[in-house]
């Protein structure tokens, strides 16, 4: 298989994975529909840089070494699961805060808000980089599709494809969710979006924490 075929296959597999429901998609849906386009785009940027770092660490073998060390990987799972539980708690708290409000109204309590662009970027980046499932995915993706003998230029293009597709997909999702017509409808359903995202974050976080504790105790 030549490098062009490898890169096309890589892009296809990666794009399918990006569209799969998970913490990254839930984060964009929750925040772009609530806080608007700019926040959604900065979260998309943070997620894409998390994916870029995962890709780079996998390509250089660092992520493989972490995956092969049970204690290190369990600690990563512990951090990632705890962070997702934190996001789940925030989403469920927002649900309770807004449940009694009229449709379309949002609580403006300071602790529920994303205050600036840097905070939005950081939340996207941390959500992705602390997800141990992302580490496993990129280790598998790189070890399966990227041969050791691939040219340096080819590997650079691979990194650019992984980052660029992630940014394009999450930015497009944030853009679509923040159009005026759609955002009015989504804000009317904001409490239900918060509830769904809270359940997703909490369920995945608890599953990851269970796997982490199982690994530490085994």
| pLDDT given for residue 100 in this prediction | 63
| pLDDT given for residue 110 in this prediction | 39
Structural domain harbouring 74 = 3-217
Per-residue confidence band for 150, with pLDDT thresholds at 50, 70 and 90: confident
Task: Give me the helices (H) in the chain, please.
Answer: 3-19, 23-35, 37-59, 62-67, 70-98, 117-129, 132-145, 152-177, 180-188, 190-217
| pLDDT given for residue 112 in this prediction | 43
Closest CA to 48 of 216, 173, 145, 204: 173
* Average confidence (pLDDT) over 162-182: 90
Out of 15-24, 93-102, 148-157, 206-215, which region has the weakest mean confidence (pLDDT)? 93-102
| pLDDT given for residue 97 in this prediction | 72
Highest mean predicted confidence (pLDDT) among 95-99, 155-159, 179-183, 208-212 = 155-159
| Its pTM surpasses 0.75 | yes
Q: How far is CA 136 from CA 3, 52, 209, in A?
A: 23, 14, 16
Domain count of the fold of the chain: 1
């Amino acid at each position: 298989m030549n490098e062009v075929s490898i890169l096309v296959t890589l892009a296809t597999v990666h794009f399918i994975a990006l569209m799969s429901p998970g913490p990254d998609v839930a984060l964009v849906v929750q925040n772009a529909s609530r806080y608007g386009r700019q926040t959604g785009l900065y979260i998309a940027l943070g997620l894409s840089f998390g994916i870029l770092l995962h890709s780079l660490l996998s390509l250089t073998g660092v992520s493989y070494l972490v995956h092969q060390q049970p204690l290190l990987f369990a600690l990563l799972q512990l951090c990632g699961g705890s962070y997702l539980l934190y996001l789940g708690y925030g989403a469920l708290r927002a649900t309770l805060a807004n449940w009694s409000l009229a449709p379309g109204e949002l609580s403006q309590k300071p602790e529920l808000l994303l205050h600036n662009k840097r905070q939005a970027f950081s939340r996207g980046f941390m959500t992705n980089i602390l997800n141990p499932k992302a580490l496993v995915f990129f280790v598998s993706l790189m070890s399966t599709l990227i041969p050791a003998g691939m040219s340096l230029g080819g590997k650079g293009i691979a990194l650019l494809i992984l980052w660029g597709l992630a940014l394009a997909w999450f930015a497009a999702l944030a853009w679509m969710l923040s159009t005026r017509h759609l955002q009015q409808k989504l804000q009317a359903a904001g409490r239900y979006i918060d509830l769904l995202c809270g359940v997703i974050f909490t369920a995945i976080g608890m599953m990851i924490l269970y796997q982490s504790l199982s690994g530490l105790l085994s």
